[in-house]
Structure formats: C-alpha cells, structure tokens
Structure 1
Amino acid sequence: MADGRDGKKIDVDRRLLELLACPLTKGPLAWDPERGELISRVAKLAYPVRDGIPVMLPSEARAISAEDVLSPPRLGGPS
C-alpha cells in the first residue's frame, strides 16, 4: 500500500486516470496501488504520484522491467 507524506493511503480518481496519458507514448496508464505509481506499459515507465498529484515528467519516472509490465494482477486501470 502506498502512503502519502502524511501517512494516508494514496488513491487516484478513476475519472482522472481515464484522462491521463503517458507523455511519451500518449497511451493509457494503469494505477499501481502497491507503489502509488501510474504505469505506462508501452514506455515501461512508472510515474510517481506525490500528495495525490501525478508527476507526469519522464525525468521523474522510474524505469520498469518487462516482468513488471507483464504482471497485471497488481495493476489497476479504468473499469
């Protein structure tokens, strides 16, 4: 479970998730509640969410492995 700086659980509004796109690929993002990140499977990047605000800068993103990209049970997305 991801926590914000104040110790509260971070969550992303589903409507916001539907509007956001990867700045590099313009593709969809999936929410990873375990790490509090937005995942771009195509770009293989994880964008952090800080204090409930997505940081959509490629320079701030974490590179993820192909194994992480292929493990969808942990990732959520719009229903």
Structure 2
Amino acid sequence: MTITASGNGSMSGKAMLASDTGIWSVVGRKLCVSFKSWTNNARHCGEVYRQGDTYVGFVKNGRPMLQFRKLIESAQNQP
C-alpha cells in the first residue's frame, strides 16, 4: 500500500487495484487518519514513534498497525 500525505492534511492511497482519499491531522500527540472508503470516514488516532528512519504507530497487541517512512522532501524545504 502506498499513501501520499500532503502538508494541507489531504491523503491519497493505493493498494493493488483499490484507491481512496482521506484526511490526516495531529491531535495532541496523536496522528489521526480517515479515508472515505477504507475507514468509512471514521477517524482513527494513535501515537507514532520514530524507530531509525521508520515511524510506527497505532500499536495493537504489541504490533504496529501503521508503519511509514518519509520518501520525498517537500519542494518548500529544498535549497
């Protein structure tokens, strides 16, 4: 699954032949995400931790339900 998150809080995702759009936000110390179809617009929030160059979050039963890494630096942040 590939998810692209933009600085304006929008997201788009692709998994095999399926795709969806959604929104993300930070509430307190938690990352919150919702997708139109995949989560039926329900917001899911969880703390995210950095492990090396990877971020993990939404830990359930000791296993991360979300794992991601930064792939592209925003054009605004590049010299």
* Alignment TM-score, normalising by the size of structure 1: 0.31
Return the structure number with greater relative CO, CA threshold 8 A, min gap 6: 1
- TM-score if structure 2 supplies the norm length? 0.31
The structure where strand makes up a greater share of residues is: 2
